[in-house]
Each structure stands twice: as C-alpha cells, then as structure tokens.
Amino acid sequence: MPRKISIFGSTGSIGTNTLDLIRRDKQAYDVVALSGAGNIVLLAEQAIEFSAQIAVTAYDDRLEDLKAALQGSGIEAASGANAIAEAAARPVNWGMSAIVGAAGLKASMALARHGGVLALANKESMVCAGELLSAECARFGTDLLPVDSEHSALFQAMNGENRNTLKRLILTATGGPFKDFTLEQMQGVTPEQAVKHPKWNMGQRISIDSASMFNKSLEVIEAKYLFLCEPSQIEVVVHPQAIVHSMVEYVDHTIIAHMGSPDMRGAIGYALHWPNRAPNPIEPLDFAKLGDLSFSSPDEAKFPALRLAHETLTMGGYAGAVFNAAKEAALDGFIARKIGFLDMAALVEKTMYSAQIEPIRERSQTSLSEVFEADTAARKFVNDRI
Ligand code: NDP
Ligand code: MG
C-alpha cells in the first residue's frame, strides 16, 4: 500500500526538496494535499505531477489562478488559512509541515492528529506552541520527527540512548555571512547581503534569520521543547564548514556528533524513511578533501538573538510566541528596508520586556487561540515602532 502523504509549503525550499525525494519512488506514495502561497504555477505543476487530491494556496486572491491552472485535472483547488488547516486534517500516514513562519502552526497541529509521522520543518510551531504541539502528538500517538538539520542530528545522536544520561546539546551554527563583520559594518548591511548564506541553500526568510542568528535562537527554543532539557543544557558553537550538524554530550563526557554534507535532503530523507534508513542522493563526505573543521564561541555582543533565546526560555509560557512574532515583524521591516539589520534584535528585546506584553507572555500555554493572541500583540507592538 502506498503511504498517504501531505506537504504544506510544498512550493518552498523544504517542500521542493521533499518532492525531489518522493519523485524518485513515486509509486510508494499517495499524495493527498499540497499547499503554497504565491507560486501558483509551481503549486499546480506539483499537484498535477503527483496527482494530489487537493492543492491549496494561502492567498484568496490567487484561487482563480489556481483553478485555471488545474482545469481539467480533477484536482480540487482551495484557498486561505482555514482551507490549509482543513486540508491538513485529511488523514495521512506522513505529513510535512514546511510553511514558513507562525502561519504554519495550524497545519502542524492538524498533522499532529493523524497518529502517523509529523515531519516538522516549521520550527516556529515548536517555538510558539511547543507544549501544545507535543501534547497533541502524544494524545494521538503521532511521531514528531524534527526536520531542522540540527534537531534531526540531535535526534539521531540520541538513537538508543537513555535520555536521562544526556548532559548537553551542542547546536552548530555556520555563523552566517556576517561572522567576521564588525558591529559598524553590520548596521549597514542590506537584505541582499543578508540572504546569501555561505553553506545552506534555503528560503529567503530563514537565510536572513541565519545571518542575524535569529534562526539559531529559534533552534535553541525548538531544542528545549523537542528534547525537554533545561535551557542551561543547550549550547551553540560556531562551525563554519557545516559538516557537523550538531552533537549530544552524555554524562560520561562522550560526545556523539552527526556529520554529513549540508543538504536538507539528508534530514528530510531521514524523517521520510524513519525508523529505517534508505539511500539518499546527497553528496557523500570525503574526509581527505574536507580539510580542517573548526569550532568557536558565537559573539553574543554581535548576535544578541542568542542571549534573547535563553531569556525567552526562562520566561516560558507564551514568551516563545511573542519572541517569534516580534522577530517575524522585525524581519518584515528589514526586508522592506524600513529598519536596519541590528534594529531587529533591539526591537525584539524591547517587545519581550515591554510592560504591555508582559501579562500576555506570562500566562501558561493552554490554548492555540492564546498563542495567536500573543502573536498578534507582539506583531502590533513591533509594527507600531517601525
Ligand atoms: P520558503 O520561503 O522557501 O517556503 C515557504 C513555503 O511556505 C512556500 O511554500 C510558501 O509558498 C509558503 N508560504 C509562505 N507564506 C505563507 C503563508 N502566509 N501561509 C501559508 N503558506 C505560506 O521557506 P523554507 O522552505 O526555507 O522554510 C520552510 C520552513 O522550514 C520554515 O519554518 C523554516 O524555518 C524551516 N526550515 C527550512 C530549512 C531550509 O533549508 N530551507 C532548514 C530548516 C528549517 P510560495 O512559495 O508559493 O509563496
Ligand atoms: Mg537549522
């Protein structure tokens, strides 16, 4: 029997990489739903190629274009955030959550209810609602598999280990394009400079987040909720070659590192075939050609996002939702050239500590509607200041 699968964010970097793997063994999969936003041509092409049941665009004003592109195919077309959530509620054995931003949260929650595998690329779901999403997976017996390369690496380095003997999680970071810039140089950088990631080929927003290290800060929060460890057990180390994807230290000081080429199809393929392993089209590592691997501490004065992530973890409750939404709004401001690169972290910090936001973020995580309330309040706070 082919496995029923859905991919939310199928037109993005993770989505297209996922379909690249599926394409190599098409008869093994039965594609239920695909979703995108603005890239209607690609979404329709994918839906037709993989004979999906339904294709959904996030944008209502693009529905007619989608319908036209799917005409005669028999594939359903739908639009809007609710239609994405409804499509994610269609039963599958394996669901990929790869929409960018908090906009992916509803799809993640719906995919958590099928009792199969939730392959989670959308780290924002964990950052905003880690406790709620984990509880939903547990309630429905869904296996939550991280797709973020660092977390896939950590997950794999914990295979067969007793989690009580875990001492430290060491997340690697390339340091991004501004690793060797001074603060003065960083103030003036443009979105075009920030998007050029030295090692990983990713979507625009996560690439800029990597340059500011906000991506790593989201990953620190994601790690806490995925692996249920103390914030003090999570460290970040700069490793520009991006060969070691992360490491786990145990109480005996043994460190298990996960290595591979920087290609997201490694982590996606692992989640696709878990608990087995299957051949993958990524470049094998050749140690003789690799040369040196280097490691250093991140510069928190230049990258305050890392400190803010640990402070967010200490706050708990809806602090993650506030942190993420403030970051998303500040990133919008930077992409629109309304604020400078370093203003992003300053605005996020201001939001986290504002008296206006404090009562919202301090509540304990109980409902998705409160997550969205915290998200809306934080975005408004940042936008008012931009
Ligand atoms: P992309 O920007 O490449 O793709 C984002 C996807 O989401 C596209 O399908 C896009 O549609 C869709 N989308 C955009 N806005 C909305 C919206 N408001 N509602 C619904 N769908 C929307 O992102 P990535 O693939 O890089 O990242 C996806 C997720 O995976 C993110 O959470 C990211 O942090 C995470 N991730 C990505 C990695 C990578 O290597 N790219 C690595 C680790 C994690 P369209 O293109 O049609 O507009
Ligand atoms: Mg990552």
Q: Which residues of the chain have pLDDT under 70?
A: none
Is residue 55 in contact with ligand 1, taking CB distance under 6 Å? Answer: no
Q: Residue whose CA is closest, atom 36 of ligand 1?
A: 121
Can you give the pLDDT at residue 139? 98
Ligand closest to 200 (CA) is: 1
Pairing of strands 244-250, 255-259: antiparallel
Residue 200 has what pLDDT?
A: 87
Burial bucket for residue 382 (CB in 10 Å: 0-12, 13-18, 19+): buried
User: How many Å lie between the centroid of ligand 2 and the Cα of residue 242?
Assistant: 10
Confidence (pLDDT) at 136: 98
Sheet holding 76-79, edge to edge: 76-79, 54-57, 29-36, 3-8, 94-97, 117-120, 143-146
Q: Which atom of ligand 1 is nearest to the CA of 121?
A: 30
Ligand 1 closest atom vs CA 264:
40
Residue 299 pLDDT? 96
Per-residue model confidence (pLDDT) at position 271: 98
Most distant CA pair in the chain: distance in Å?
62
39 lines ligand 1 (CB under 6 A): yes
pLDDT of residue 89: 98
Q: Which ligand is nearest to the CA of 266?
A: 1
Specify the pLDDT at position 65.
98
Query: Is residue 146 lining ligand 1, measured as CB closer than 6 Å?
Result: no
For ligand 1, whether the C-beta of 120 sits within 6 Å is: no
pLDDT single digits (tens) 158-209: 999 999 999 999 999 999 999 999 999 999 999 999 999 988 889 999 999 9
The C-alpha angle 213, 219, 221, rounded to 5 degrees, equals: 115
Tell me the whole-structure pTM to 2 decimals.
0.98
Answer whether 123 contacts ligand 1 (Cβ < 6 A): yes
Question: Are 197 and 177 a contacting pair, CB within 8 Å?
Answer: yes
CA-based radius of gyration for the chain:
20
Residue nearest to atom 31 of ligand 1 (CA): 100
The whole-number pLDDT of residue 99 equals 98
The DSSP letter of residue 268 is H
Q: How far is the CA of 149 from the centre of ligand 2 (A)?
A: 5
Pocket flag, ligand 1, residue 128 (CB < 6 Å): no
Beta carbon of 36 within 6 Å of any ligand 1 atom: yes
The alpha carbon of 22 and the centre of ligand 2 are apart by a number of angstroms equal to 22
pLDDT of residue 198: 87
Closest CA to 226 of 307, 276, 153: 153
